[in-house]
Structure 1
Amino acid sequence: MTEITTTPAREFAAQVGRWEQVARRALAAFSLSDAPLDLYGHAENVTFRVNTGAGPRALRLYRPFRYTREEIGAELAWLTALRRDTALALPAPLVPPGGDVLQVIEGASPGSRWFCALFEWADGEFVGEQPLPEHLHRVGRLMAKLHAHSLTYRLPAPLWRATLGFEGDEAFFAGQAPLSSGDRAQLCEGLAVAREAFARAREAGEVGLIHADLHQGNYLMQGGQAVPIDFDDAVFGPFPYDAAATLVHVRHRPDFPALRAAFLAGYASARRLSAVWSDLDCFLVARRVWLVGWILQRAHQPGVRDWAPAYLRGHLDGLAEDLDACR
């Protein structure tokens, strides 16, 4: 009898096959179930490039149990409104003839459902790990336009997105074995700083629906402007926090002051910077705390375990630096 061994590569290939089955069922609504597919990403969600006669499309499979239909519908509704109300270049969701923008496909696990949406393909070039000041200037200008729209936009009922906050997070961090007592004390200080900064932003009216994850992998450069993608983390929160989600990924660079200044100049070219933006270091603290929580929740997952410790330590060290800057 031949022993059958399952290697990680074989397991992954089988998983991709299951994703493709879901993808083809979702694409049937667009008469694209036989279109060639290329796996593009499989982090929080699963994304395929769909090669059609009319050009490429992006199909996103939202992982089961992560968001409700109403939450995903809110993301798609905001994207549609941004395309309708602004001149921003961004990939809009596509609606099949006589159908719903969101396809619902039953998964293999009992009770699991995949929500699936097809998007226009975003053309442009990623800037990689070393964005230049001119890139950050464009991203700042883009973000200002997103925030200006957010202030006037209202999600149609019953669609909704969560409001970002840090209530009760001390208990979560207290139970995390990878953290030392010094780490926990530092995180508790960071939580206090984040809550105070969020309160100041609310008082200033600097809050609304934000992208919340506009790092270098979520924007492209196209014809002199930045193009945002992946609004999956969209949430109601402070506008300076949205900027911190971008800037935290270049905070370690020696030229960070120039990058930060370029971003803020780009923002100010499209929307006024209120006084609360002087607290940007405190919002960097808030983003660090959020990222520490994010990795701790996923550190046990296959494919994450190998790099999670270095990622965690990097943001804990960065948190200490950012706390010093806003003390």
Structure 2
Amino acid sequence: MEGSAWSLVAARENRVYRVDHPGGRHALRLHRPGYRSDAELRSELQWVEAVSQGGLSVPLPVPSISGDFLVTVDGCQIDLVHWLDGRQMGATGVPLALDNRTGLFRSIGQEMARLHRASDAWSPAADFTRPAWDRAGLLGAAPLWGRFWENASLSPADRDLLCQFRSRADQALKELQPDLDFGLIHADLVRENLLIDGDRIQLIDFDDGGFGYRLFDLATTLGKTLSEPDFDDLKAALVEGYRAVRPLDTTHLDLFMALRATTYVGWIISRLNEEGAEERSARFIRDATDRVQTWMAQDHAPGSRRTA
């Protein structure tokens, strides 16, 4: 890579650089310190390589000269993946500007299902380790993205609502666990992580991927689409596309829409000192309370299995 041209293209959770080399274009990732262990990052890269072999268009890892996918320089974890051409589906908070919107969401559903199918067909090594978006990871004492019910921006009424939701949702997941589709998921299929290249949908940024409920992937994509005027059509297309590849019971999708919304309320807690964070936190809280109220307004009698 010596002498290659490079430029910073993203500075969100990780710093990502585009590197142009005579052998091709690549994305060089400098990982946020302390977010993922070396074992978790190596597992991510092994998983991405496996789903690529399963037919998905994902950023394949490039080994270093020593053959490792991950290297550490001055304490910074670094990896290199192949650059994928295409344009992001959109940006969070900006209305989608797309042609054939339902057709695109149908394709996204299909690609999501292919990811789950390829992941199920793969047998990871014994030391494979990734975070778990399970009951504990969403609602336990130490959720993956923070204790959402302790966000300092919450009003007393909103805090009470989220605490009630946490208790009810935890009981619902406990009852539903045997029937829910669970396995490796991307966990962050927002519009920035979906690249469109002609008719091809490409999935990038597996940084938050791990074990979780398959409905969580659908909820993540849909949660950023709620303000679209044709949301119901896009939702139907996403589900239709998914089911064209593999079966999925979406009876409890509203529960996972609420669960996904609360994760952002927790995620922002450690970032409230950043510029614009108060406004983002207020938006996350509005979204979460709306989703929570939608789910809690339905039939949730103790012992009932009608939790969506």
Tell me the TM-score normalized by structure 2.
0.85
CA distance in structure 1 between the aligned counterparts of 2:214 and 2:56, rounded to whole angstroms: 18
Is 2:222 the partner of 1:250?
Answer: no
Say if 2:106 and 2:239, in contact at 8 Å, map to a contact too: yes
Of residues 132, 148, 156, the one that matches 2:117 is 148
The answer as to whether partners of 2:258 and 2:288 remain within 8 angstroms in 1 is: no
**For residues 163 and 191 of structure 1, what CA distance do their matches in structure 2 show?**
18
* Residue of structure 2 aligned with 1:283, choices 243, 256, 263: 256
For 1:203 and 1:76, the matched residues in 2 are separated by: 29
TM-superposed deviation, 1:45: 0.6
Structure 2 SS opposite 1:278: coil
Name whichever structure is richer in helix by fraction: 1
Structure 1 counterpart of 2:291: 319
Residues 126-275 of structure 1: matches in 2 within 5 Å?
126-128=88-90, 129-130=95-96, 132-164=101-133, 165=137, 166-168=139-141, 172-173=147-148, 175-196=150-171, 198-199=173-174, 202-204=177-179, 206-274=181-249
Q: Residue 71 of structure 1 contacts residue 159 of structure 1 at CA under 8 Å; is this kept in 2?
A: yes
Larger RCO (alpha carbons 8 Å, 6+ apart): 2
* Offset of residue 98 of structure 1: 3.3
Contact 2:154 2:285 in 1 (8 A): no
Match of 1:90 in 2: 58
Distance 2:175 2:293 in 1: 22
TM-score when normalising by structure 1: 0.81
Q: Unpaired runs of 5+ in structure 2?
A: 300-308
Corresponding residue pairs, total: 286
Q: Could you tell me which residue of structure 2 aligns to residue 34 of structure 1?
A: 3
Question: In the aligned structure 1, how far is the partner of 2:57 from the partner of 2:219?
Answer: 22
Alignment match, 1:103: 71
Contact 1:284 1:322 in 2 (8 A): no
> 1:9 — aligned with what?
none
Larger Rg belongs to:
1
| Counterpart Cα distance in 1 of 2:149 and 2:215 | 28
Structure 1 gaps, min length 5: 1-31, 107-112
| Matched residue SS, 2:277 | coil
Give, in whole Å, the separation in 1 of the partners of 2:211 and 2:200: 25
**Distance (whole Å) between structure 1 residues aligned to residue 205 and residue 59 of structure 2:** 9
